[in-house]
Amino acid sequence: MNIDRQRLLVLGATADIARAVAREFAAHGCAVEMAARNPDALQRECQDLRLRSGVEVRGHVYDVLHVEDDARLLHALAENFPGTTICAIGLLHPQRECSANVALAAEVMHSNYTAPARVLEQIAAIYRQAGAGCIIGIASVAGDRGRAANYSYGSAKAGFAVFLSGLRASLQGTGVRVITLKPGFVRTRMMQGRQTPAVLTAAPQELAVRLFRLYDSGANGVFYYKRIWRPIMWLICLLPERLFMRLQL
Amino acid sequence: MSIPPGTRTKLCGFGRYPTITGRLVAARDRAELSAVLQAEPSLIARGNGRSYGDAALNADCVVSMLGLNRFVDFDAATGVLVCEAGILLAEILQVMVPRGWFPPVSPGTQYVTVGGMVAADVHGKNAHRDGTFGQYVEWLELMQQDGTIKRCSRTRYPAWLHATIGGMGLTGVIVTVAFRMIAIRTAWIHRELYTAVGLGAAMELLDRHAGRHYTAAWVDCHARGKALGRAVLFCGEHAEVAALPPGTAALHIPQRWTATVPLTPPCSLLSGFCGRLFNELYYPLNRLKVRQQLVDYQRFFYPLDAITGWHRLYGPRGFCQYQCVFPDATSHRGVRAVLQAQAASGQASPLAVLKRLSAGSGLMSFAMPGYTLAMDYVASESTFTLFRSLDAIVAEHGGRIYLAKDSRADEIAAGYPVEQFRHFRKAVDMRFNSLLAERLRL
Ligand SMILES: Cc1cc2nc3c(=O)[nH]c(=O)nc-3n(C[C@H](O)[C@H](O)[C@H](O)COP(=O)(O)OP(=O)(O)OC[C@H]3O[C@@H](n4cnc5c(N)ncnc54)[C@H](O)[C@@H]3O)c2cc1C
Ligand SMILES: NC(=O)c1ccc[n+]([C@@H]2O[C@H](COP(=O)([O-])OP(=O)(O)OC[C@H]3O[C@@H](n4cnc5c(N)ncnc54)[C@H](OP(=O)(O)O)[C@@H]3O)[C@@H](O)[C@H]2O)c1
């Protein structure tokens, strides 16, 4: 398959983080393939990006929970397959609701882990065969240690992060990279209604700038944003379980 | 459709006076916006909070429009840009300047939203010649309380358009705006500076340069007697390619020196600083008589934007701006009386901006043919006392004050068609409401 290095595939293109990332890549001349589940919102984002950047932008209606959407998407991309894929799909519901409703909990787990892993595995196969490509997965600091406040979401993100690290290892030496990005707090729709400390909170644009730099420098590995989250999570992971439970972090 | 949850937070305008604790709800598309509007009994739209006072404040619910920030369409044949109302002027400039397009009207900061520019019918340095922003609006989409959208233009729902331009968010929420841009060949402005020894000379200079694309004057508010109203006049024209030094990329936006004020000092530092700035400009220039320079558009239009948070230098109490306009017939007397009164009050503003305006394009527009004067003060009781005496001068001379800058007046009926506006609001919807509207009984 023909891989186009100057083309980006965005899964979950209507996510606030995805919009910022798409804009940043487009500003550097990348064509963008936008995949998202809400057709109206998708169309608006595509038009916005086209007008802002002047690059080629195409939209694909895609719901990661619909298995049959994979084939349609991959087929539509086949001619000029984007050399970089970012997955920004994520779903967060309050733990209370997840605990009370196992179907909802399952949806959260699928949306954050099993479903994105399913499609990324297929894309990785294409890259592996072509001997080039870059996969960027957005995991979360919430996946580093299970908290009472969001363990359905957190455990799925943990699974996703482990999937990405395994994928990275398996692609070693093939010319394919995998970047795991673990954001802390980012000011997006997902965080609406929550007050978070300013020093730990990033704007989607800053994250996008940092991510493009990582991508551009040939990075391959796990990265936090903001960077302060790496030592914070390292410390949190070091806490003995008893202490961690008592602290109710 | 789920309703986005709000955040309880401190809210204020650019002057940080007044500050309230309120609920801020962010909508990111029209479906969410419509859900919010249907659920909330009282609310006001908020752009980027660059109005100085309480225009974008409501005790129950404030709806942030910053998430509706998409480009929708651009027609290079007509220059008409269609965009969502929450987009920042700064973003438009960044995208459109390199393609050779410029906003038809631009306020003194680029960190305003298009919705805010319509709602305040803003004026720029070309107001003497080209009018206000509302004039360039081809149509806009206005969302009503039931979540439905009216597309208002000069032919469809013209009364709605008229009331919404300058309507301070009180007629509904502006969702989309289509406006005409102007073509430019470079990102540079040919600037000329002149000095005027007193107020008469300053106004005469502004009149003499009325043919220029952009004009504005800085007035030294500390000067008294004969020197009252001494000023530096700025004129500008969009530069042609031939005027640029060879090798300059004509439409490239130059990188800019920027800084951030890290914290609010315990007292105002700005008065002394601005006074010195003025003198440093005035005296050397006064010997030269005129100085010509090529400056990039950011330095010309938005000099203060380079310093993020500069207004914090006014100290913890916040500050207020007094901006008024006098009709042509009384302009000279009115401006002189205001400058005298504030110099005599012993708390003169460091600087005032003096400009010529022409008519605004909305029912409640601030602009009218005549001179406008704008001055900043630290918020305090004595400032408010001074403002009340300035109000009397404004009323006596048939002028009006600018709602986008106001945070404390208790009466504006003499200057605006308030009855007519209130009538319109009552007929349609009183749920769009702000602290400003309550205070002034709009
Ligand atoms: C440094 C500085 C310089 C300035 N210079 C000038 C100048 O030269 N000329 C001038 O005219 N003004 C000037 N202003 C004032 C500024 O242009 C106006 O106050 C403008 O309205 C601010 O836009 P905003 O997006 O920040 O709106 P906000 O301050 O958030 O809101 C202002 C008003 O607009 C309404 N509004 C905002 N968005 C919408 C929407 N989508 N739908 C309905 N209503 C809405 C709000 O309800 C409110 O009444 C200046 C301000 C600053 C801070
Ligand atoms: N914000 C933070 O603080 C933070 C922190 C750590 C990690 N993250 C992660 O960052 C990523 C982006 O999130 P965000 O903050 O930008 O929030 P967001 O705007 O809510 O993004 C989540 C996106 O996932 C999409 N999505 C959910 N289920 C889907 C499905 N079945 N099929 C297709 N798309 C689906 C949503 O689509 P719709 O637009 O149609 O709803 C939405 O665009 C997520 O993976 C999130 O978990 C965010």
Q: Mind listing the pLDDT tens digit for each residue in B185-202? A: 999 999 999 999 999 999
Beta partners for B327?
Answer: B370
Whether B5 contacts chain A with CB within 8 A: yes
Across the interface, which of A45, A52, A192 has its CB nearest the CB of B4?
A: A192
Ligand 2 atom index nearest CA of A115 = 31
Q: Is the distance from CB of A128 to CB of A160 less than 8 angstroms? A: no
Tokens describing residue B91: 């973003």
Q: What tens digit of pLDDT does each residue of B337-351 get?
A: 999 999 898 887 888
Burial class (CB in 10 A: 0-12, 13-18, 19+), B258: exposed
State the nearest Cα–Cα gap between A149 and chain B, in angstroms.
Answer: 18
Domain residue spans of chain B? 71-184, 188-401
Helical packing angle, A115-130 and A67-77, nearest 10°: 30
Burial class (CB in 10 A: 0-12, 13-18, 19+), B280: exposed
Architecture of domain B188-401: 3-Layer(aba) Sandwich (3.40)
Tokens describing residue A172: 């070693």
Q: What tens digit of pLDDT does each residue of A191-204 get?
A: 887 888 999 999 99
In this prediction the ipTM stands at 0.90
Quick check: B4 pLDDT over 80?
A: no
pTM exceeding 0.90: yes
What DSSP element (H or E) covers B343?
helix B331-344
Nearest to B3 by CA among B61, B58, B83: B61
Specify the pLDDT at position B346: 82
- C-alpha B406/C-alpha A212 separation (Å) is 43
Q: What tens digit of pLDDT does each residue of B11-67 get?
A: 999 999 999 999 999 998 999 999 999 999 999 999 999 999 999 999 999 999 999
Across the interface, which of B5, B6, B70 has its CB nearest the CB of A48?
A: B70
Tell me how far the alpha carbon of residue B54 is from its chain's centroid: 14
Q: Say which residue, B344 or B114, is predicted with more confidence.
A: B114
Q: Is there a shared CATH topology between the B71-184 domain and the B188-401 domain? A: no
Predicted confidence pLDDT, tens digits, chain A (249 residues): 899 999 999 999 999 999 999 999 999 999 999 999 999 999 999 999 999 999 999 999 999 999 999 999 999 999 999 999 999 999 999 999 999 999 999 999 999 999 999 999 999 999 999 999 999 999 999 999 999 999 999 999 999 999 999 999 999 999 999 999 999 999 998 988 788 899 999 999 999 999 999 999 999 999 999 999 999 999 999 999 999 998 877
| Out of B92-101, B117-126, B407-416, least confident range | B407-416
Q: Is the distance from CB of A1 to CB of A78 less than 8 angstroms? A: yes
Where does the pLDDT of residue B272 fall: very low under 50, low under 70, confident under 90, or very high at 90 and above? Answer: low
Query: Does domain A3-247 bear CATH number 3.40.50.2300?
Result: no
Nearest to A208 by CA among A9, A16, A7: A16
Whether B95 contacts chain A with CB within 8 A: yes
Across residues B113-119, what is the average pLDDT?
Answer: 98
DSSP state of B115: H
**Tokens 């050779």 map to which residue?**
B100
> How far, in Å, are A170, B85, B115 from residue B88 at the CA level?
45, 8, 9
Backbone phi, then psi, for B346, in 5-degree steps? 80, 5
**Ligand 1 neighbours (beta carbon < 6 A):** B 14, 44-51, 55-56, 65, 85, 107-109, 112-113, 115-116, 119-120, 122-124, 168-169, 173-174, 304, 404, 434
First to last CA, chain A: 47
- C-alpha B241/C-alpha B385 separation (Å) is 51
Quick check: B312 pLDDT over 90?
A: no
State the nearest Cα–Cα gap between B73 and chain A, in angstroms.
Answer: 7
CATH class of B71-184: alpha beta
Nearest to B319 by CA among B278, B263, B375: B375
- C-alpha B117/C-alpha B126 separation (Å) is 15
Mean pLDDT of chain B: 93
Tokens describing residue A180: 């795991």
Where does the pLDDT of residue B289 fall: very low under 50, low under 70, confident under 90, or very high at 90 and above? Answer: low
- C-alpha B15/C-alpha B379 separation (Å) is 8
